[in-house]
Structure 1
Amino acid sequence: MQPQQSITPWSEERLAQMQVRLSRKLGPEYVSQRPGPGGGPKLSYIEGWKVINLANEVFGFSGWSSSIVSLVTDFIDVNEQGRCSISVSAQVRITLRDGAFHEDIGSGQAENVRGKASALDKAKKEAVTDATKRALRSFGNVLGNCLYDKSFTANVSKMKVPPVS
């Protein structure tokens, strides 16, 4: 049996910089809001493309990867008019260059969509994006974990978004 080799492509300095960046909270320009279920309080979230850009900034574009562990169609309902409602669940793994990883699940839905293919396409993409965002948040605040802090989300929603330069 060969000894397990340690994968450490990042220097101690680079790891310390990443840890500082990961512990920061998101600025208001990254936080979006939508109505809660049943008209409840607004929910704060980060859009998928924004969290991917942040992961590229923190880890480097080649410092991380994602893989779909599982993708399951939970149900497909087709009504008399041929419109589909579909729910899909995904499990995604985010792996860093040094081998550290986090996995999480996500879900996606398509309701009242014309055609099974279009409905499946939408639900699968939504499920994978949701799982990716949930797995990335496990690495730290700047990748979305701070959005689970209700006092933070209450305060960030009151902040003005800085103009884009």
Structure 2
Amino acid sequence: MFDKNQLTILTQELDSNRIKTREKGNINLSYIEGFDVIDTANKVFGFGNWSYSISKLDQVSQELNQNQNNVVCYKAVVQIQIHNTNHTLDVNRQDVGFGTGVAKSLADAHEGAAKEAVTDAIKRCFRSFGNQFGNSLYDKTKNHQNSAYQQNQNQNYNQRQPQNNQQQQQPYQNPNQTRNTQQNNSSFNQYEYQSLFNLGLNIVENNGFLIVTGDDIFSKKDSIKACGFRFDSKSKTWYKAIEQGAA
């Protein structure tokens, strides 16, 4: 089915630098990102030697959360096909994935949920090929939190600790702010984004917009969306216009 080189790659241990971690409830979950799975598939099977098709993409639920954001959930059924060097079907896998979209705009919530469901299904299909696609992450007896994540957590914790009374009153630090203003003169209500600060993120003012900065932003996208921020694919940043008259 697979040649010697492919089997060699597939049987290698998963590089800990590829493992990401996010919080869900009170549990830290380990995972590899969707783009990583696709890059690995291209590396192992070759460009053009694999493909996927969406068998089903259904909305599961829709509601408003406590912040009046739309919360939409989708379910996707995806099938992947792997072809040999003669471009004939060699292997196929099928699995189900779920995705949740949280946004002020209903359209954005649907978009986010649908994309996340398809990506989740693709990742679950590929996990049947072993460690390189994250199957080992499902082994509950192993500790998959890598040292890089732990260092980021420690760094974020240290940044959140108040060094004096003034910093305790003004929790957001904005070293990248382009305007020469003091934090206590910020044109937005800093405490409105306390949930983001608790995740180790910062809010930066730039030309009439608020920009989210910090480490491992992608894994915290649901919390960022819940605060009304939108993602700009060109600059790869989360942004939000500063509301006029905001405290």
Is the structural similarity TM-score above 0.5? yes
Distance 1:88 1:51, change over 3 A: same
1:30 aligns with 2:18: yes
SS at match of 2:5: helix
Q: Does the 8 Å CA contact 1:91/1:105 hold for their aligned counterparts?
A: yes
- Structure 2 distance, partners of 1:43, 1:53, is 22
Q: 1: distance between equivalents of 2:111 and 2:132?
A: 29
Measured against aligned partners, the alpha-carbon deviations of 1:90-121 in whole angstroms (never above 9, x if no partner) come to 0111110142111111101123x222211110
Q: Does 1:77 align with 2:63?
A: yes
Mind listing any 5+ residue stretches in structure 2 that lack a counterpart?
A: 150-247
Does the residue aligned with 1:24 lie in a helix, a strand or coil?
coil
Partner of 1:119: 109
**Compared CA separation, residues 156 and 17, structure 1 to 2 (3 A):** farther
Partner Cα separation in structure 2 for residue 57 and residue 151 of structure 1: 29
Aligned residues: 144
Matching residue within 137, 141, 146 for 1:157: 146
Say yes or no: does 1:39 pair with 2:26.
Answer: yes
Between the aligned partners of 1:25 and 1:71, the Cα distance in structure 2 is 33
Q: Is the 8 A contact 1:82 1:115 kept in 2?
A: no
Which secondary structure state, in structure 1, belongs to the residue aligned with residue 136 of structure 2?
helix
Rg bigger for which structure?
2
Secondary structure of residue in 1 paired with 2:126:
helix
Q: How far apart in 2 are the matches of 1:47 and 1:138?
A: 16
**Distance in 2 (alpha carbons) for counterparts of 1:155 and 1:93:** 28
**CA–CA distance in 2 between the matches of 1:30 and 1:75?**
32
Q: Is the 8 A contact 1:71 1:88 kept in 2?
A: yes
Identity in percent: 37
- Alpha-carbon deviation of 1:78? 4.9
Aligned partners of 2:132, 2:22: CA distance in 1, in Å? 20
1:105 to 96, 102, 122: 96
Q: Please, which runs of 5 or more residues in structure 1 have no aligned partner?
A: 1-11, 161-165
Q: Does 1:96 align with 2:54?
A: no
2:6 to 18, 24, 37: 18
TM-score by length of 1: 0.77
> SS at the partner of 2:114?
helix
1:73-95 per-position Cα deviation (integer Å, ceiling 9, x unaligned): 0122257x974211100011111
Aligned-residue CA RMSD (Å)? 2.4
CA contact (8 A) 1:27 1:156 kept: no
